[in-house]
Amino acid sequence: MQGPIGVFDSGYGGLTILKELVKQLPQYDYLYLGDNARAPYGTRSFDTVYHYTLECVKHLFSKGCHLVILACNTASAKALRNIQQLDLPHIAPERRVLGVIRPTTEVVGTFTDTKHIGIFATAGTVLSESYLVEIKKFFPDIEVAQEACPMWVPLIENGEFDSAGADYFVKKHVKHLLAQSPEIDAVLLGCTHYPLLIKKIRQFLPPSIRIINQAEIVAYSLSDYLQRHPELEAKCSKNGQRTFYTTDSTEAFDRQSAVFFGQEVKSLHQDLGK
């Protein structure tokens, strides 16, 4: 039986990924689950993120999803490998879970001429060193500088991403990142929230430095993946429908989603395990 493509995030950030998926692959049905009741994931332990993410993946499977995208850098960094290697073979060997880090690192080297890249991310993603490990696999000659930005997500979720109050924290972390290497000529926004700060980031970055659009990369990668796996693609329903679930307040989710997704949504509340 066919089912929607599941898109999971700890909260709202994954909607920036879903927005691009819908733009590039509008024919598919998508089911989005935001675990807002337990967000943010960025400061939580590896075990906690793994437990929460696996629970949400299982729930999306129960809703008929044959393919789930972890549209969250923290979940991709802390939980994806265990889910793919330890859990899927036992609970759902015919289903697939993909993340956002691998497709990004496969092409990130094409965005730099100096072979020096900067990454803005949550503390959890930085500490996991997932980007460092994955980039080295594909581009061993590239130097990567990381900067954890713990205040950026709270600023964004409190509607301060375009305010003067955000300037201090954006300028601070841009300065810290560039201080690690004056040769950086491309930066990756390693958190799905961060595109909402792109105007501020652009304001404080030298104009010669490129900002890499992770959402576009993930969408292109998914399109390629589905073409290479026709047996899985055939299980994805194609009615152009989008369904949104949140584990917290639907009113708050709908209000924030208009910012992250770019259009109004009407979400449903979901208690996990039910």
Catalytic residue numbers?
A: 72, 191
Is 192 labelled a binding residue? yes
Q: Is 208 annotated as a binding residue?
A: no
Q: Is 36 known to sit in a ligand binding site? A: no
62 is in an annotated binding site: no
> Has 9 been labeled as part of a binding site?
yes
**Residue 9 phi/psi, 5° resolution?**
-150, 160
Would you tell me the crossing angle of helices 250-260 and 14-24 to the nearest 10 degrees?
60
Structure token digits, residue 69? 């995208």
85: left (phi over 0), alpha (psi -120 to 50) or beta: alpha
| 114: CB partners within 8 A, 6+ apart | 183, 184, 185
Residue 181 annotated in ligand binding: no
Contact (Cβ atoms closer than 8 angstroms) between residue 100 and residue 74: no
42 is in an annotated binding site: yes
Alpha helices in 36-164 (DSSP H): 46-62, 73-78, 80-82, 88-91, 101-107, 123-128, 130-138, 152-157
Is 158 annotated to bind ligand? no
- φ, ψ of residue 66 to 5 degrees: the values are -90, -20
What is the spatial distance between Cα 194 and Cα 215, in angstroms, rounded to a whole number?
Answer: 11
Known binding positions for substrate: 9-10, 41-42, 73-74, 192-193
Known binding positions: 9-10, 41-42, 73-74, 192-193
